[in-house]
Chain A
Amino acid sequence: MTTDASVAPHLDAPPPKSPSVYEVPPRSLRSRAGSVLRHALLILAAFVMLYPLLWMVASSLRPDSDIFNSYGLFVNTFDTTHYPDGWNALAMPFGSYLLNSAIVVLGAIVGNLVSCSMAAYAFARLEFPYKRTAFAIMLLTIMLPVHVVIVPQYILFANMDLINTFVPMILPKLLATDAFFIFLMVQFIRGIPRELDEAARIDGAGHARIFLRIILPLMVPALATTTIFTFIWTWNDFFTQLIFLTDPDLYTVPVALRSFIDAQENSSFGALFAMSIVSLVPIFLVFLFGQRYLIQGIATTGGK
């Protein structure tokens, strides 16, 4: 993300702690009650949404024998051993799986941002032959389930000697195979008034300039969405990472997490929960910081 966060005012940023903001302007009793009601409903909804997650956090702090006997969030016996145990349970410390995942994710994000935004610009703003056909083909490529293309893909990458490297996860993103994001960006670019391009064109700007100077800054929310989604999907993508990375040194988080489970054995659920939470922290942080970019848009950049 290249945009400097401090440039654009964030409607959503925490309000400055001056009394003037906290002093709610005189409002009708009704709207005040409405606001309280909204908060109450939101908090209730948030609690219901989060209960299973909180249960997981609580479970990661319980002895294994208690995990499946408790429904509440209250932890009787605090047992933090699942964290160090889970961290060291597999061939490598869990940190190396986090690192591997981070590399894959970073590559995928950069790839998607660059290649998908370029393709999206072409589809949204340029006229070229067979555009409809190309667009249809683009959509078709995401309609085939991965399970029937994984074997040919494996053969393809094995031929290039790229199994047990991160390339099979990253290269496709650099080549805009995630049509989902192209389509997303196309929809966003269409929301950007054409007059802005026209004005730039009259000033003598070429497509590269219009793309970089006008379209990209205005589609920051779409880019942020792409970043967040690429992050999460890649972070959670079990199947391709399982298939393309067979060397345990290169295992990523989802592959490592499944190694805790064996239906025939006593699976280490406490350790599984603990490491699930550990691996959740990065995505949560990315979202927490990334989501502020979502809310930038035309409104704040003063377009139109």
Chain B
Amino acid sequence: MVSEFRALRKAPGGSGQKGRVNSRDGRAAAVFLAPWVVGLVVITAGPMLMSLYLSFTDYNLLSNANFTGLENIQRMLDDDRLVKSLTVTMVYVFVSTPIQLAVALGLAVVLDRGLRGLALYRSIFYLPSLLGSSVAVAILWKRVFGVDGLFNQFLALFGIDGPGWISSPSTALSTLILLHVWTFGAPMVIFLAGLRQIPREFYEAAAVDGASKRQQFRRITLPLLSPIIFFNLVLGIIGAFQSFTQAFIVSDGRGGPSDSTLFFTLYLYQQGFQNFNMGYASALAWLLLIIIAAFTAINFWVSKYWVFYDN
């Protein structure tokens, strides 16, 4: 049944099915892309190129930048905290993103239709994401996972003496991963929107054919939702690599205890704003860009084998 709407395998941005460019398209593209191009040139590109230049300097924010060649790159090579922060970030990205997406997708399917009070459930599950990065959440999280926190009080009911989850180097990162998963509402909303694009008739037809719910999910929902899953995956990974605020507010900008929550962007921020090594921070930022770009490229490449576009 999938074959009916099996899509052309195509990477986004690939050339069209006609394989040639018609000039009407080109003119229209110029108009449609005009705001983006102006934004790119006027607002985005300047600061980006500036930071690229600064990554080869000793810029300290307060004095003029001196070109130092590859010194910053050399410095990266024996920077222990850089390695530490990369490790922390990788663990965070590759543990929290899949879990968050799975939870979001699961609940989106449950909350899509066929149950009373859906609007309310959706809003409730989304609420934590609304709070996002507010200071109040940081205080809350410390309360919940502190030595005498709510979670340990709960464990105490079962006679378990829990550690100080947020203040112990071996568990602090997991509380941040949990915090990230807790805000699964954002990808859930996108999944919900995507689910609505799947014509209902497909499910009805499948039901007539005697397909079980599980089969329907695997044969209809997953393939037809794959562009959206792909989107959430790509952006989820980019976003997780750049995670900053949550670690920042929970650890007071320190990334502690013992650097166990030192996210890459947090380290970069510490270098740039707290130590005034903006040149080095820029270099770190471009390293991050290269890493994210590499993972995104892999993602796009792999997507050819599992993402279906209906055109």
Contact = CB atoms under 8 A, between A and B. Distances in A.
Given A123-B12, A126-B29, A142 B238 contact: yes
A283 B130 contact: yes
A143 B128 CA distance: 25
A177 B39 contact: yes
- Report the contact-size class of chain B (Cβ under 8 Å from the partner): 35 or more
B36 A298 contact: no
Nearest to B15: A127
Contacts, number: 310
Contacts of B26: 126-129
A288 B42 contact: no
Nearest to B55: A148
A144 B196 CA distance: 33
B115 to A, nearest CB: 7
B203 to A, nearest CB: 10
Contact of A187 (B15, B141, B231, B278): B231
Contacts of B272: 147-148
Interface stretch (A88-96, A244-252, A253-261): A253-261
A189 B152 CA distance: 47
A118 B234 CA distance: 21
B40 A141 contact: yes
A288 B228 CA distance: 22
Given A50-B124, A115-B36, A183-B231, A152 B134 contact: no
Contacts of B197: 188, 191-192, 221, 297-299
B115 A39 contact: yes
B231 A184 contact: yes
Contacts of A51: 150
A294 B310 contact: no
Interface in A144-164: 144-145, 147-149, 151-153, 156
A206 B14 CA distance: 22
Nearest to B149: A71
- Report the contact-size class of chain A (Cβ under 8 Å from the partner): 35 or more
Interface string A131-146: 1101111111111110
B289 A144 contact: yes
Interface string B4-33: 000000011111101011101110111111
23 contacts: A39-B116, A50-B127, A55-B150, A115-B36, A118-B33, A122-B33, A126-B29, A142-B238, A152-B47, A152-B51, A175-B35, A177-B44, A184-B235, A190-B309, A207-B32, A221-B194, A229-B189, A232-B130, A257-B136, A260-B135, A272-B136, A294-B196, A300-B196
Interface of B: 11-16, 18, 20-22, 24-26, 28-36, 38-40, 42-44, 46-48, 50-51, 54, 61, 110, 112-113, 115-119, 121-137, 139-141, 143-144, 150, 153, 182, 186, 189-190, 192-194, 196-201, 224, 227-228, 230-231, 234-235, 238, 241-242, 244-245, 252, 265, 268-269, 272-273, 278, 281-282, 285-286, 288-289, 292-293, 296, 309-311
Given A191-B194, A206-B28, A221-B196, 17 more contacts: A42-B110, A71-B153, A119-B32, A128-B25, A135-B13, A138-B36, A141-B40, A147-B265, A190-B12, A207-B28, A236-B133, A269-B139, A283-B130, A284-B123, A294-B196, A299-B198, A299-B200
